[in-house]
Structure formats: C-alpha cells, structure tokens
Amino acid sequence: MAEATAHSIDQDDFTHVVKGIRYPPVVTEANLEAMLNFDIRDDDIVIAAYPKSGTNWMLEIVTKILSAGGRTDASSDDMVGKLEFQYPDEPRPHHVMLQECASPRVILTHLTPDTAPPGIAHPQNNVKVIVVMRNPKDTAVSYFHFLEKIKFQTGQKRFPSWDEFFQLFMSGKYNFGCYFDHILGWWQRRDDPHFLFLKYENMKQDLPKAVKTVAAFLQVKLDDASIETIAHACTFSSMKASLDNSRYRGRAVNARKGIVGDWKTMFTDEQSRLLDSKCKTKLEGTGLQFNFE
C-alpha cells in the first residue's frame, strides 16, 4: 500500500495529535492535561493496556475477584469507562466521574506511562497496576475489526482498509500511538512490585492460573474452588452474552472471537514478515516475547 494513502487517512477528521500521539475525539486535550493532577487513591487498582489487548477481560477478572473477596459490590459494567475519555452521553469527563466512585476503584487506561497520571506511572504505597499485553498481530486485527463495528456509530466519514490500518499500526500513527512504545514504556516497570504484567495468550492458555496470580497480587485470599468459579465465569463463552448486552457501546461490540492466532485471517505473508521483523528490532533484548499461535 502506498504511504500516501496512509497519510490521507492519517490526516482525516475525528482524530487529533497531542505531543506526538494520535487520539480519538473522546480523549480531549483538556483530559490529557488533567491527568497531571489526577488524584490517585491508595487502594486504586489500575488496568493499563494498549487497545484490544484484553482490557475488558481483565476488568471482569478483577471485579469478580474483588467481589468474591467481599471488597466490592460493583460489577464490571459499573467500572466501565477509560480514565482519559470524555463520553458523548456524559456531561463530565470520566476522570471527574471517577472522583465520586466508591473505593476500591478499578481504573482503566490506554495511556502510556508518559501520559498517564504520575500516581499511575509511578505508583506508591498500595496502588496496584495490572498491565495486559497481547501479541501485536492479534491486537492489530482486533483493533481493525473494532473500528469496523463502531464506524456507523462515530459519524467518521472514512475508515482505513486493512492494508491502510496495517500501515498506520506499523508506523505508530493510529489512535493511542505506537504499540511497541506503549508496551515497552510499561514493561520498563517490570521490577516494580506495584506492577503485574499478564499476557493475553497466557490467560487463554491457563485462565485459573491467571486468576490466581491476579488474586494474589490484589491480596485477596481465595480458595481453589473460588478461583475455578471465577475462571469459568471469565471464559470467552461465559462473558460474551453479558458483554453483548452491555449498555456501553464499546463493550457491546467487544466480544468478537477471543482467540489467539486470528491474525492469520487478515495478514498477508509480507505483512507477517514485516511485523516479525519489527518485533525482532523492538523487542530483542527486552525479555519480552509473544506467542502468536
């Protein structure tokens, strides 16, 4: 695909660039500025993820763990909403609405450490940050299909074709910026005990193990039976119906396939080779690697 085509999409309406990162219109410049002064609470739990990496999945796991541990009555639908968003049907930005949320709050964000509130980028005391990561090929395919599903709701005139989207993803020019900068920014914090890193592919492979790891990180004591019950409730098939029926449009189109390896339905051999090579350049020596099958 010609770079010129990607450029024309790049310049399209309905997105804007702040400090080198492209955002959708729901992430306003004012909201991004407000991140600097966002008040973090000592018992906040943050889920940080590049879009389409399994944010809602982790939210479900965390709320079910908190609920089983008697720490919250809230459901995942009550916790929905990204920290940096200004939802069209809400008069107030989400970071303002979060001020009224009961503790413990579960805060979702697609921001990088450089753009997130200092209390999230450099957590102190009991603040906990869970970073969810997914292999870049499935992330890109999931993102592309998500755009397809919401295009009729956004009013945006033109959406990228798969080839155009691939180009934008590779060059880090789509919303929320470069996938690699994003995950590597968080990954730098891997030795900080305030952080837990989980990969989508590992969650798929052994969900009870992932649930147990998250519960231990959140210091919620659960027996094996409770872990199994939560894992069962958080499988794709268990979650799909409730996601499909969510009153939030982003969530209602969230559950698509929920598998590892769906990239093969979209990627050409050349695209796969290009992304493999980018992974090698960006991830070599970082200790970070992904399963693609």
| CB of 94 vs ligand A3P, minimal distance in Å | 16
211 near ligand A3P, rule: CB under 6 A: no
Tell me the per-residue interface mask from 240 to 279 with ligand A3P, x by CB under 6 A, - otherwise: --------------xxxxx---x-----------------
Q: Phi first, then psi: give them for residue 196, nearest 5 degrees.
A: -130, 130
Tell me the per-residue interface mask from 88 to 127 with ligand A3P, x by CB under 6 A, - otherwise: ----------------------------------------
Max Cα separation, the chain? Answer: 57
| CB of 11 vs ligand A3P, minimal distance in Å | 26
Which C-beta is closer to ligand A3P: that of 54 or that of 93? Answer: 54
110 is catalytic: yes
Stretch that binds ligand A3P, among 49-57, 91-99, 111-119, 219-227 (CB under 6 A): 49-57
Tell me the per-residue interface mask from 122 to 161 with ligand A3P, x by CB under 6 A, - otherwise: ----------------x---x--x----------------
Per CB under 6 A, the list member of 10, 22, 46, 54 interacting with ligand A3P is 54
- Set 94, 95, 110, 182: catalytic member: 110
Residues within window 28-47 making contact with ligand A3P, judged by CB under 6 A:
none
Q: What is the rounded CA–CA span in Å between residue 153 and residue 149?
A: 8
Instruction: Catalog residues that contact ligand A3P under the rule CB under 6 A.
Output: 49, 51-57, 138, 142, 145, 234-236, 239, 254-258, 262
Question: Which residues are known to be catalytic?
Answer: 110
